[in-house]
Homo-oligomer: A and B are copies of this chain.
Amino acid sequence: MDEKSRRIPATAPAERPTLKTIAYMTGLGITTVSRALKDAPDIGSDTKERVRLVARQLGYQPNRAGVRLRTGKTNVIALVLSIEQELMGFTNQLVQGISEVLGGTQYHLVVTPHSFEKDQMVPIRYILDTGSADGVIISRIEPDDPRVRVMTERNLPFVTHGRTDMGIGHPFHDFDNEAYAYQAVEQLVKRGRKRIALLAPQSRFSYHIHSRIGFERGLVDFQATEVSMGRTTTETSLDEIRAYAERMSRLPEPPDGIISLSGSSSIAMIAGIEAAGRRLGKDVDLVSKQSAEFLNWIRPEILTVTEDVRHAGRELAKAVLARIDGVAPELLQSIDIPVWSAMGPTSRAARAE
């Protein structure tokens, strides 16, 4: 009775409205309200209108736990990431792109990282066992990918950022790394380069193979030769990449063209090359893919292709949503082609030097 001992303090938020609230306010049954909000055919149109009005007025939002418990629908998209992902803005862009699409829907984005390559399956199994997502987005795809196999078997909608080679028609979005590598060779040969090195990802990834194929096709078509990068990949530590690049640059016949699949690796490459006294754009040309526009700020001479990861995020999100809605996997496959950067504002800086 005392003012201070009230259950509900003055600042308490209004109780969250439920179907019951709306049912009470409209004088209808809970079922009717539920069906009205779903635009079911057996509800009168004026009733629907009335229910919708009240629902809007109250700011009704369906309780996700209720829906999930009853129907199993989580309204969650899981983004499964390896923590070894590229540093330079990749995840950021991907998340932004996905969110752009999910923003207009009831879906939430849950980010689920896993530590090591061995644990690849852990988050997938967790999602399968607990039913904690309606759809999954994975990256760092391998040609024969166990994650793809198990999600296909268990009928969990998913999309891959990258392609597999498993004879399973699944949704994917990919960047055309084959075309990139091929065109990169072409660009280098056009600049008179003949001895070319390819810094590719680890061989287990699908895009290693794609870039190798494009690269080798390019070597043949444009008549250049390969200089080996040894065991160095884009996953190698930057220090080691730098060291390797320096050693390679001091060879009697060093490469005069280098193609890199990763922006951060390129930074280390440049350091190594220049440490050996070779000059970019003069002694050697570098072609690099990047996920954020930054290499040309540093060295305008670099030929760059910026993979639009944000766009990839949008495509991936749209694909997985469509898959959840039952669209055939074959209709949810897309590939981005490389776009070569025109020399940007920094080219002026270069000329001024």
A interface residues (Cβ-Cβ under 8 A, vs B): 11, 13, 16, 59, 61, 63-66, 68-69, 74, 81, 83, 85, 87-92, 95-96, 99, 103, 108-113, 115, 128-132, 153-154, 238-239, 242, 246, 264, 267-268, 270-272, 274-277, 292, 294, 297-298, 345-346, 348-349, 352-353
Q: Which of B83, B99, B238 meets A111, CB within 8 Å?
A: B99
Known: A69-B63, A153-B11, A294-B88. A271 touches B95 (CB 8 A): no
A271 adjacent to B87 (CB under 8 Å): no
Residue of B nearest to A62 (CB): B130
How far apart are A107's CB and chain B's nearest CB, in angstroms? 11
Q: Which of B59, B113, B292, B297 meets A96, CB within 8 Å?
A: B113
- The interface residues of chain B lying within 8 Å CB-to-CB of A128 are 13
- The interface residues of chain B lying within 8 Å CB-to-CB of A91 are 91-92, 95
Bound-state Cα–Cα, A110 to B108, Å: 7
How far apart are A214's CB and chain B's nearest CB, in angstroms? 27
Bound-state Cα–Cα, A271 to B353, Å: 10
Residue of B nearest to A98 (CB): B111
A270 adjacent to B297 (CB under 8 Å): yes
- The interface residues of chain B lying within 8 Å CB-to-CB of A111 are 95, 99, 109-111
Q: How many copies does the complex hold?
A: 2
B348 adjacent to A275 (CB under 8 Å): yes
How far apart are A317's CB and chain B's nearest CB, in angstroms? 13
B349 adjacent to A274 (CB under 8 Å): yes
How far apart are A305's CB and chain B's nearest CB, in angstroms? 17
Q: Which of B74, B112, B129, B345 meets A61, CB within 8 Å?
A: B129
How far apart are A60's CB and chain B's nearest CB, in angstroms? 10
- The interface residues of chain B lying within 8 Å CB-to-CB of A16 are 129-131
- The interface residues of chain B lying within 8 Å CB-to-CB of A13 are 128-129, 154
- The interface residues of chain B lying within 8 Å CB-to-CB of A246 are 349
Residue of A81, A92, A130 with most partner-chain B CB within 10 A = A92
Bound-state Cα–Cα, A353 to B279, Å: 10
A346 adjacent to B271 (CB under 8 Å): yes
How far apart are A78's CB and chain B's nearest CB, in angstroms? 9
Residue of B nearest to A267 (CB): B297
Bound-state Cα–Cα, A132 to B68, Å: 13
Known: A69-B69, A89-B89, A129-B59. A271 touches B297 (CB 8 A): yes
A242 adjacent to B345 (CB under 8 Å): yes
Q: Which of B59, B95, B292, B353 meets A113, CB within 8 Å?
A: B95
How far apart are A244's CB and chain B's nearest CB, in angstroms? 13
Known: A66-B69, A69-B63, A99-B111. A352 touches B271 (CB 8 A): no
B113 adjacent to A110 (CB under 8 Å): no
9 further interface pairs, Cβ-Cβ under 8 Å (given A109-B111, A242-B349, A271-B346):
A63-B69, A64-B130, A85-B92, A87-B89, A108-B112, A109-B110, A270-B297, A271-B345, A277-B352
Bound-state Cα–Cα, A91 to B309, Å: 14
A99 adjacent to B113 (CB under 8 Å): yes
Bound-state Cα–Cα, A242 to B298, Å: 12
A87 adjacent to B92 (CB under 8 Å): yes
Bound-state Cα–Cα, A270 to B350, Å: 12
